Amino acid sequence: MSYCLNPSCSKPQNPNNAKFCSTCGSRLLLGDRYRALRLISRGGIGRTFLAVDEQQANKPHCVIKQFPIQNQGTNNTKKATELFRQEAVRLQDLGQHPQIPQFLAYFEPNSQVGLGAIPTVVQTYIEGQSLAKQLEANGAFSETQIRQVLTQLLPVLHFVHSRQIIHRDINPNNIICCTKGGEQLMLVDFSTAKFTSKTALAKTGTVIGSAAYASQEQLMGKAVTSSDLYSLGITCIHLLTDIHPFDLFNSLEGVWVWQDYLTQPVSDELRQILNKMLVSAVKHRYQSAMEILQ
């Protein structure tokens, strides 16, 4: 099946090899190359599709992400195009890391007939299972597994942060255990990423991310690099306990009670590391991924 990328299309499903949507007439091949197969997710940030690259003989899977412009108009579209171009360059750089999906292409607003002002990026599709799915299937993680999560992801965050980028949506759904090449963890979905440099994107003050895993400063639209470390800490205690993060915090006393829900004890070292990652005050939290690794 081919899926029409026009968000206004009332019947987006089309035959496999169709070139134009039978309902709205939009082109079905993005850049005459990428064909959307189905909608994976839809949210406030935009829409994500599973797609194939039809220019390659084996037609490998890829992912198409759309980021609609909220307030359209000549000035807004021009500004959004420039910001999107900057973001695309950063995402392309991130894709050089082996644990981040490779950046394949981007399309600026109005560059695609029938799609209107919709910035769009294409990235490699990661085959594997999210940590959320693994938790659902196998139950609470062991300390050994949590140490593997930290050992594999902290260097990735160091790489990301060294490029003045904050992920802003680290949670079990956005960490994929890749089925190719062993048990390597991949950090996905940089659609909410924010630049820490002094650009217009860094000044938006937008509250983005999954609330259950977000720090207080991020919820106030002021995310910093250690906000990602906080989110990774929340992810770890969720995986350790198989309890939703909201239920691991005593709001009356303002303290984390995740240790009360452990199915098996953890070492003092891991407990201290996680508790420091979860400190509310930014200045008392770990300031960098490398600090935790040391």
Same domain? For 169 and 46 the reply is no
Please tell me whether residues 143 and 287 are part of one structural domain: yes
Extended strands (E) in the chain:
2-3, 13-14, 29-30, 34-42, 47-53, 61-66, 103-107, 120-124, 128-130, 165-166, 175-178, 185-187, 194-195, 249-250, 255-256
My answer on whether 107 and 189 are in the same domain is no
Mean per-residue pLDDT, 148-175:
95
What share of the chain in percent tops pLDDT 90? 69
- Cα–Cα distance, 137 to 261 (Å, whole number): 19
Q: Is 50 exceeded by the pLDDT of residue 201? A: no
User: What CATH code is carried by the domain that includes residue 228?
Assistant: 1.10.510.10
Span of 46-55, 142-151, 189-198 with lowest mean pLDDT: 189-198
pLDDT band at 265; cut points 50, 70, 90? very high
Same domain for 197 and 76?
A: no
Q: 60-69, 140-149, 203-212, 237-246: which has the minimum mean pLDDT?
A: 203-212
Cα 172 to the center of its chain, rounded Å: 10
- Write the pLDDT tens digit of every residue in 85-132: 777 787 788 988 999 999 999 887 655 544 555 788 899 999 999 999
6 three-state secondary structure: coil
Interval 129-139 mean pLDDT: 97
pLDDT in tens, 181-193: 677 999 998 766 7
Domain boundary (83, 99, 124) is at: 124
Query: Tens digit of pLDDT for each residue in 275-291?
Result: 999 999 999 999 999 99
Domain count, the chain: 2
Domain-terminating residue out of 73, 95, 124: 124
Three-state SS at 103: strand
- DSSP secondary structure letters along 172-239: GGGEEEESSSSS-EEE---TT-EE-SSSGGGG-----S-GGG--HHHHTT---HHHHHHHHHHHHHHH
Which tokens belong to 263? Answer: 């199915």
Active site residues: 169
pLDDT of residue 57: 93
**182-211 average pLDDT score:** 65
Other C-beta atoms lying within 10 Å of the C-beta of residue 252: 6
Q: What Rg do the C-alpha atoms of the chain give, in angstroms? A: 20
Residues 213 and 83 reside in one and the same domain: no
116 and 26 inside one domain: yes
| Same structural domain, 77 and 157 | no
**What pLDDT score does 195 carry?**
61
Per-residue pLDDT band for 200 (boundaries 50, 70, 90) equals very low
Residue 283's domain comprises 128-293
CATH number for 45: 3.30.200.20
d(CA 31, CA 244): 41
- Same domain for 132 and 266, yes or no, is yes
Looking at residue 4, what DSSP letter applies? -
- Domain stops at, among 124, 143, 159: 124
Q: Are residues 93 and 156 in the same domain?
A: no
DSSP β-ladder status, 34-42 and 47-53? antiparallel
Instruction: Please tell me whether residues 190 and 272 are part of one structural domain.
Output: yes
Same domain, 62 and 140: no
Mean pLDDT of 150-171: 95
Provide mean pLDDT across the span 195-203.
45
Residue-level pLDDT at 198: 42
Stronger pLDDT, 126 or 79, i.e. the higher one: 126
Give the pLDDT band of residue 238 (cuts 50, 70, 90).
Answer: very high
- Do residue 105 and residue 236 come from a single domain? no
